[in-house]
Structure 1
Amino acid sequence: MENLNEEYKRYERAKERVKDIKEFYTHLFTYICVISFLVFINLKYSPEHLWFYWPMLGWGIGLLFHGLKALDVTFMSKDWEERKIREYMENEKKNQNKFE
């Protein structure tokens, strides 16, 4: 019974992750379409004043963070944290033994 419950939890987490990635790709597609349209409008009707890069930049920053979250990109993973904690604990133990 316990094994079945764990399997179900893993399935639900995977399902949620796939949903997040799918939402990110939908967001990316929408971004590309809308920004392309804004570039077209800007260059067609007011090429002397380029303004399309402001919405492109603002929305792009939001899209970047959405992508980092959806694709589970982390700069310092839990594994890294655990290794660093163990390293500091070992260093502290070595330094403590030096003075005894």
Structure 2
Amino acid sequence: MDLRQKAEQRVDAKIEFQENLYKYLIVNVIIAVICLLFLNSFWLLFLVMFFWGLDVLDKFFKAYSIRDYREDMIEKELSRMGE
């Protein structure tokens, strides 16, 4: 895999995470308003927040993995040592 493909995959994963996070926030606000106005109970909100939140968390770890962060730090350190 060349460097461009790897960069494209990382960017796509970050965009997917950000889109999913925005949708998660918007939908949960709407559900919170519905629960507050009509249900007088927040069990539906907590259910959605928990299960969808697991998916958001999974996408976060795929987009911003520690291994990629470590590789970036190694590359920066190698460039500093080479100067």
Deviations 1:31-80 (A, max 9, x none): 00001100010011111x22211111111011111111111135xx7xxx
Q: Percent identity?
A: 25
Q: Which runs of 5+ in 2 are unaligned?
A: 71-83
Q: Which runs of 5+ in 1 are unaligned?
A: 1-5, 78-100
Indicate the RMSD between aligned Cα atoms, in angstroms.
1.9
Q: Which residue of 2 aligns with 1:68?
A: 61
Check if 1:50 corresponds to 2:42: yes
Give the TM-score normalised by structure 1: 0.61
Q: Which has the higher contact order (CA 8 A, sep 6+)?
A: 2
Please state which structure has a larger fraction of its residues in helix.
2
Q: Which residue of 2 aligns with 1:87?
A: none
Give the TM-score normalised by structure 2: 0.73
Count of residue correspondences? 68
Once the two structures are superposed, the pairs formed by residues 11-50 of structure 1 within 5 Å of their partners are 11-47=4-40, 49-50=41-42
Runs of 4+ more than 2 Å apart: none
